[in-house]
Amino acid sequence: MQSIRNIAIIAHVDHGKTTLVDKIIHASKIFDAHQHFDDLILDNNDLERERGITIVSKNVSVRYKDVKINIIDTPGHADFGGEVERVLKMADGVLLLVDAFEGPMPQTRFVLGKAVQLGLKPIVVVNKVDKENCRPDEVHEMVFDLMFNLDASEDQLDFVTIYGSSKNGWMSTDWQKPTDNITPLLDAIIEVIPPAPSEEGTPQMQITSLDYSSFVGRIAIGRVKRGTLMEGANMSLCKRDGSIKKVKIKELQVFEGLGRVRVESVSAGEICAVTGIEGFEIGDTLADFENPEPLERIAIDEPTMNMLFTINNSPFFGKEGKFVTSRHLRDRLYKEMEKNLALRVDETDKEDTFLVYGRGILHLSVLIETMRREGYELQVGQPQVIFKEVDGQKMEPMEHLVVDVPEESAGKVIELVTQRKGDLLIMEPKGDLQHLEFNIPSRGLIGLRNNVLTATAGEAIMNHRFVAYEPFKGAIPGRINGSLIAMETGPGTAYSIDKLQDRGVFFVEPGEEVYMGMVIGEHSRQNDLTVNIQKGKQLTNMRASGSDNNVKIVPKKQFSLEEAMEYIQKDELLEITPKSIRMRKIYLDENERKRYGNN
């Protein structure tokens, strides 16, 4: 019977988690000499690599001194809360990775809080101690204070700290004495993290995540809680509604290195993948055939935002995407719900429109970005916050917002946040930056990042996490400026864009195809303005001296997907195709807009 350690890694975006796992894998010599691979093995989808965030947790295992260490990667973002909780259920300990300069960040706090509640034993790794201005001892104190504030037990507060630089491939118990390998960390894992408990008795396994293969269908992944699972055995699947379904295990696989290996049986404490089971959900229990006992289900945080998803019906529909019909959209959203626990999809009275609920702008934008890369065309409406009614009082979700900003811009940031009903809680220097903490309604965050980055010349670092539902704070001013709207369909000309430059900022450039009703710029005033950018210059055969100068046009304003989602107004939609992101009015015809706008 081999000894197993199951450990989850918690770290903030960009603190070096994925690099550290790469180094652990190297240290245990999993790769054969002939195998070539890229860096950042874990961030395997393009979107994760580009954004530098982990969205879907992955499992890797290494062997060290006859012990098998299962490393479970956790998402580092509060928007993926559903994912975090499930992952921690499989672990017996956590590796908390913090940057030696930045220290623990607000979103690390979210995941760490869940781990502390579950009673997991932590090991703290202070990474990047080779950077200048780093302050490893202070960061160690900060982690202790954070654990204390999260109500950690005596045993959890007595944590081991390892210092090092995963980029340079070394770890040590003393940051002033670098080593040349990362074995001190592996030794600490084996000493500190308790072995996976192996209970005897009838088999039990909770399904905590799933995988999909086009050959065998859906694959259930989880940790065996008790007993032994056997290949070919008949089992019971305990569902959410209390019903029990009889199923048969076709194949069992355990994680070995970066892949999976087929085995005949899996005993308690090991994480495994089961194929051949149909109709399961995350949270269901695989139990004994004769007397099944379900495990307690995982409670998932509720969504705080919703958005309208609808098919693309703009004049340019179907030009760039493969999947454009409502059936495609519907199937894709329901497929996503199977994996993405914090997501909810409701049908509306129109068959081509769905209401999608998620944990925040990032959570929803990752789904939209994934879909457009797969070839979908769709339109989404303005993100809306979900309100609740408690004892006759209107409640709204509140978030804890942390901004680190250069001192000279702190005043502007405070002003922007307080305009949106944010309350300043803490203001203190942190290195050469001002550290600000606020409580702010979730709806106040929509569009805030854009304004803060503009006001601070892009130097602000913002993070936020959901706290709780609190009484409604009153109206928040939205975007002040109106939109510039295209009057006709066709490519814009440099001549007409040049003549209209004093009217506002354009989002399109000469030669770009636009259609009637498309939002092509931001008006310099509060009202919307319909403009004609297709007009060419009237040509004559007379040369007017001095008037034929070259046209000088300000470059167009580019939006990322999240910025565009935050920018649009109530009466606007965002058209998303594999190649373009366009903003448009819901009613393209100006007369229709007037008719519906005055009601």
Give the CA distances from residue 302 to residues 74, 296, 395, 408, in Å, rounded to whole numbers and listed in that order. 19, 18, 14, 38
C-alpha angle with apex 497: 492 to 503, nearest 5 degrees? 135
- Bridge partners of 401? 438, 464
450 is in an annotated binding site: no
User: Which phi and psi angles does 582 have, rounded to 5°?
Assistant: -125, 145
Residue 300: which of 173, 186, 208 has the closest Cα?
208
In this structure, the dihedral spanned by the alpha carbons of residues 355, 358, 364 and 366, taken in order and rounded to 10 degrees, is: -130
Would the annotation count 127 as a binding residue?
A: yes
The count of other CB atoms within 10 Å of the CB of residue 194 is 11
Q: Check if the beta carbon of residue 226 is closer than 8 Å to that of residue 196.
A: no
Spell out the SS3 assignment of 266-331.
Answer: EECCCEEEEECCCCCCCCCEEECCCCCCCCCCCCCCCCCEEEEEEECCCCCCCCCCCECCHHHHHH
* Tokens of residue 138, six digits: 């202070």
User: How many other β-carbons are positioned within 10 Å of the β-carbon of residue 241?
Assistant: 5
Query: According to the annotation, is 328 in a ligand binding site?
Result: no
On whether 14 is known to bind a ligand per the annotation, the reply is yes
Q: Is 23 annotated as a binding residue?
A: no
CA distance 98 to 270: 28
Residue 348 is assigned to a ligand binding site: no
The CA R_g of the chain, rounded to the nearest whole Å, is 27
β-pairing, 3-11 vs 217-226, is: unpaired
Half-sphere exposure of 403 (CA within 13 A, CB side): 33
How far apart CA 528 and CA 131 sit, in angstroms, is: 50
How does strand 93-99 pair with strand 3-11? parallel
Residue 385 is labelled as binding a ligand: no
Going by their DSSP bridges, the two strands 433-441 and 423-430 should be labelled as antiparallel
What number of helices (H) and strands (E) belong to the chain? 15, 35
Q: What would the 3-class secondary structure string for 222-260 be?
A: EEEEECEEECCCEEEEECCCCCEEEEECCEEEEEEECEE
Q: Is 17 annotated as a binding residue?
A: yes
129 is in an annotated binding site: yes
State the binding site for GTP. 14-19, 127-130
State the binding site. 14-19, 127-130
